[in-house]
């Protein structure tokens, strides 16, 4: 029996436009075109072709890179027009052969990454002044329509051929897993009964009905299509209120060394313990003070420490998610001068009108959200020499548990472990539930958030942090090694499935948002369905799709 296709090669999340096989990025002043023109013979794995502009994870890695580059390299762009480079098809969605042949873990991680990418498009619209218009000619099915839904507006050609559809239920026995169900209800405000009809109709919806049902914003005949697109671009551009920017900064390749049991970056290190089934991620603080002014920051470009460390940490999380599936626990550590970390927070906070400072803060928000939804046990250890302060302290608050060293170590001249808070911890980095991590931590205890806010800028030792509820437990030198070891061994002994379910339920208390529904409710159901024989069994819909033989469904409702 052949191994699942996703088990055959390491996945690299680093790319750049000259290496794209599936997308063309064409910036032109205040507008840009993002053209989906998929090379059907350039799938991420062997065993399938990406026909009809269908996509796999490799296609979405390029899309994520393009959206990121639009924010940093082309901040002058106000409107991005997303369209197909092929006739008669916009996008047929996720490639069925890829899904049918993938390991379960790859299916789930693929959906998670594509969700994060689409959320990134919406975040760019909300926070970076880059609106997205999807111009659909031909079929936009499944994930193709979900991609369109992530845009601000959709225009559909009214030509008798073009349509939008979410046909996963009738064709594949799975869900529109990249936010489709949630976006048509919560974002488009489509009526529930019409959603039901839409999601169980293979051929989808065309023309005026698509507008009437609020599935698209506008339709236009082929003769008027380009003119209507231009009018919608002009209207979207006029709605953007942001300072004019002449040019951005280049995102250069990461300095990265990947070994058998380690990944080394300039400011992030990952040590992999295969016996213990855990990875330790160490973030190193800045080696120097912030630059003198915004001009100096721009001159540093992607080597400016907060941006460099965010890019490295983001890549490290993705590497562990997709390439190190048995590393069940991620241990976060830090090294450096906490005061310098706070100095960088203050520097960025003072540049409230600078586009690059804004983009760096927004990027950190996305990286921290990526940590939040990573299906691993997350633990932070705060030891002498740590620099969990301000922005880096958010990593501690993202973890399921946090342990802090109390007192000093014999022979260690670095003094006591400490944690420091900055203004960044109180609103700059909201979670998917719309709350800060501290507000989520202290749900129903606003006084605890207030007590923590009074400590901004102060050096907090283990006892104080434990009293304030900022860490789980503090241990002195006598107990530290044994208590941390016991926790890690215990975590290794538990069911990975049970832990994933527990952690995902505990991380997002409080209000439900479109994001929490996508990453919680929708993802959980899709995760379950991806394991059921009606979808992935030998006689299931994914396996029999395209064979001419109908799937054989077990009719029991569970």
Q: Is residue 545 part of a domain?
A: no
Q: Each residue of 139-188: pLDDT tens digit? A: 999 999 999 999 999 999 999 999 999 999 999 999 998 899 999 999 99
Q: Is residue 138 part of a domain?
A: yes
Q: Each residue of 125-141: pLDDT tens digit? A: 999 999 999 999 999 99
Same-domain pairing of 303 and 444: yes
Q: Is residue 201 part of a domain?
A: yes
Same-domain pairing of 132 and 232: yes
Average pLDDT rounded to a whole number, residues 466-477: 97
Same-domain pairing of 201 and 340: no
Same-domain pairing of 233 and 267: no
The parent domain of residue 379 ranges over 256-506
Average pLDDT rounded to a whole number, residues 213-228: 97
For residues 68 and 60, what is the distance between their CA atoms, to the nearest angstrom? 12
Same-domain pairing of 81 and 177: yes
Same-domain pairing of 224 and 80: yes
Q: How sure is the predictor about 9, in pLDDT bands with cuts at 50, 70 and 90?
A: confident
Q: How sure is the predictor about 4, in pLDDT bands with cuts at 50, 70 and 90?
A: low
Q: How sure is the predictor about 410, in pLDDT bands with cuts at 50, 70 and 90?
A: confident
The separation between CA 128 and the C-alpha centre of its own chain, rounded to angstroms, equals 16
Count Cβ atoms below 10 Å from residue 421 Cβ, excluding itself.
26
Count Cβ atoms below 10 Å from residue 490 Cβ, excluding itself.
9
Last residue of a domain, one of 182, 212, 239: 239
Residue 183 DSSP symbol? I
The rounded percent of the chain whose pLDDT value lies above 90 is: 92
Kindly give, in sequence order, each residue whose CB lies less than 8 Å from that of residue 197, ignoring residues fewer than 6 positions away.
Answer: none
Does the pLDDT at position 112 exceed 70? yes
Q: How sure is the predictor about 3, in pLDDT bands with cuts at 50, 70 and 90?
A: low
Q: How sure is the predictor about 504, in pLDDT bands with cuts at 50, 70 and 90?
A: very high
Same-domain pairing of 232 and 291: no
Q: How sure is the predictor about 469, in pLDDT bands with cuts at 50, 70 and 90?
A: very high
Q: Is residue 516 part of a domain?
A: no
Q: Is residue 109 part of a domain?
A: yes
Q: What is the pLDDT of residue 5?
A: 60
Last residue of a domain, one of 239, 267, 294: 239
Which residues does residue 84 pair with via DSSP β-bridges, in sequence order? Answer: 36
Same-domain pairing of 415 and 466: yes
Q: What is the pLDDT of residue 64?
A: 98
Q: What is the pLDDT of residue 244?
A: 84
Helix (H, G, I), strand (E, B) or coil at 269: strand
Same-domain pairing of 355 and 474: yes
For residues 130 and 241, what is the distance between their CA atoms, to the nearest angstrom? 10
Kindly give, in sequence order, each residue whose CB lies less than 8 Å from that of residue 528, ignoring residues fewer than 6 positions away.
Answer: none
Last residue of a domain, one of 210, 239, 268: 239
Domain count, the chain: 2
Q: Is residue 203 part of a domain?
A: yes
Q: What CATH number did the domain enclosing 352 receive? A: 3.90.226.10
Q: Is residue 528 part of a domain?
A: no
Does the pLDDT at position 537 exceed 60? yes
Q: What is the pLDDT of residue 7?
A: 52
Nearest to 27 by CA among 59, 72, 62, 60: 72
Q: Each residue of 412-465: pLDDT tens digit? A: 888 899 999 999 999 999 999 999 999 999 999 999 999 999 999 999 999 999
Average pLDDT rounded to a whole number, residues 400-410: 94
Q: What is the pLDDT of residue 1?
A: 40
Token output for 436: 């800060």
Same-domain pairing of 268 and 177: no
Same-domain pairing of 203 and 322: no
Q: What is the DSSP secondary-structure string of 127-165?
A: HSS-EEEEEE-SEEETHHHHHHHTSSEEEEE-SSS-EEE
Q: How sure is the predictor about 517, in pLDDT bands with cuts at 50, 70 and 90?
A: very high
- Global pTM reads 0.95
Same-domain pairing of 152 and 269: no
Average predicted confidence (pLDDT) for the chain: 95
Q: Each residue of 50-60: pLDDT tens digit? A: 999 999 999 99
């Amino acid at each position: 029996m052949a191994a699942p296709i996703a088990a055959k090669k390491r996945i690299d999340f680093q790319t750049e436009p000259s290496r794209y096989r599936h997308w063309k990025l064409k910036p032109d002043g205040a507008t840009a075109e993002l053209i989906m023109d998929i090379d059907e013979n350039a799938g991420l794995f062997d065993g399938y072709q990406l026909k009809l502009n269908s996509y796999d994870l490799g296609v979405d890695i390029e899309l994520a890179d393009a959206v990121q580059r639009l924010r940093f390299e082309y901040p002058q762009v106000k409107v991005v027009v997303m369209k197909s480079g092929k006739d008669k098809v916009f996008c047929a969605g996720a490639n069925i052969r890829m899904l049918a042949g993938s390991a379960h873990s790859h299916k789930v991680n693929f959906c998670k990454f594509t969700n994060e990418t689409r959320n990134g498009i919406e975040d760019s619209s909300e926070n970076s002044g880059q609106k997205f218009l999807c111009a659909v000619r031909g079929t936009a099915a499944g994930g193709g329509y979900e991609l369109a839904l992530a845009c601000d507006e959709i225009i559909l050609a009214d030509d008798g051929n073009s349509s939008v559809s979410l046909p996963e239920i009738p064709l594949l026995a799975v869900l529109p897993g990249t936010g489709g169900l949630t976006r048509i209800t919560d974002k488009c405000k489509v009526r529930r009964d019409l959603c039901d009809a839409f999601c169980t109709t293979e051929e989808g919806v065309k023309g005026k009905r698509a507008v009437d049902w609020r599935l698209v914003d506008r339709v236009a005949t082929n003769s008027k299509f380009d003119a209507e697109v231009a009018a919608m671009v002009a209207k979207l551009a006029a709605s953007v209120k942001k300072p004019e920017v002449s040019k951005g900064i280049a995102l250069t390749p990461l300095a990265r060394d990947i070994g058998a049991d380690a990944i080394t970056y300039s400011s992030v290190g990952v040590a992999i313990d295969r016996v213990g089934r855990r990875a330790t991620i160490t973030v190193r603080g800045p080696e120097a003070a912030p630059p003198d002014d915004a001009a100096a920051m721009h001159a540093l470009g992607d080597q400016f420490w907060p941006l460099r460390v965010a890019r490295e940490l983001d890549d490290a999380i993705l590497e562990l998610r997709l390439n190190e599936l048995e590393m069940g626990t991620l241990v976060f550590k830090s090294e450096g001068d906490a005061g310098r970390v706070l100095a960088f927070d203050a520097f960025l906070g003072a540049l409230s009108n600078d586009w690059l400072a804004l983009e760096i803060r927004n990027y950190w928000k996305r990286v921290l959200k990526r940590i939040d939804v990573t299906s691993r046990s997350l633990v932070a250890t705060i030891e002498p020499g740590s620099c969990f302060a301000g922005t880096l302290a958010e990593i501690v608050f993202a973890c399921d548990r946090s342990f802090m060293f109390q007192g000093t170590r014999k022979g260690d001249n670095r003094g006591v472990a400490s944690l420091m808070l900055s203004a960044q911890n109180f609103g700059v980095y909201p979670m998917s539930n719309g709350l800060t991590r501290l507000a989520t931590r202290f749900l129903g205890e606003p006084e605890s958030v207030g007590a923590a806010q009074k400590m901004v800028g102060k050096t907090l030792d283990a006892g104080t942090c434990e009293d304030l509820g900022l860490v789980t437990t503090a241990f002195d030198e006598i107990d530290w090694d044994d208590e941390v070891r016991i926790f890690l061994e215990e975590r290794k002994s538990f069911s990975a499935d049970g832990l994933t379910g527990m952690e995902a339920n505990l991380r997002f208390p409080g209000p439900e948002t479109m994001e929490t529904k996508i990453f919680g409710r929708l993802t959980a159901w899709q995760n379950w369905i991806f394991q059921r024989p009606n979808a992935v069994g030998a006689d299931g819909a994914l396996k029999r799709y395209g064979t001419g033989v109908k799937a054989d469904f077990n009719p029991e409702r569970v």
